Amino acid sequence: MEPAEIRIVVSTGPESDERELAEATSQLHGMLMLQPVESVTYGSAEEAPPLSKSGDVPALGVLLVSMAPAMFAAVTATVKAWSERQSGRGAKVTLGEDSLELTGISEAQAQQVIDEFWARTERKRPEDGADGDA
């Protein structure tokens, strides 16, 4: 099965500065590295948060996660847990052309949004080929 790649744009609230955004992004990076994902890298400035700088250098507040599709729920749960650690934190998770905002919602609402997002994007993904049955 092909790995899925999601883009996570971190936000730390309007009152935060670049240092806070960098620390929060680094913390989320570390938490995601503890998951059984293929990779977690810092992304480019495309769609970067307002406090970050654009250019070809890694963008402040942007992470790219490559993982097996089955890990999506665990990764989004990690992002949600990270966002709940401090007021004002949030993240926009993007898979293909679909995005999911994990900011200021309850655990039940988050799970419902995550489930709906995954179901919607799953329908758009091509099949991985024959299942091996003759």
Q: Which residue range forms the structural domain that includes residue 96?
A: 4-124
Give the model's pLDDT for residue 104. 67
Structural domain includes residue 20: yes
Tokens of 125: 């993904």
Residue 115 lies in a domain: yes
Number of domains in the chain: 1
More confident residue, 45 or 16: 16
Cα–Cα dist 6/45, whole Å? 15
* Domain contains 66: yes
- What is the chain's percent helix, strand, coil content, to nearest 5? 35, 20, 40
Domain for residue 10, yes or no? yes
pLDDT, position 52:
47
CATH number at residue 57: 3.30.70
Note the helical H segments in 95-134: 107-124
Confidence of residue 45 (pLDDT cuts 50, 70, 90): low
* pTM for this predicted structure: 0.76
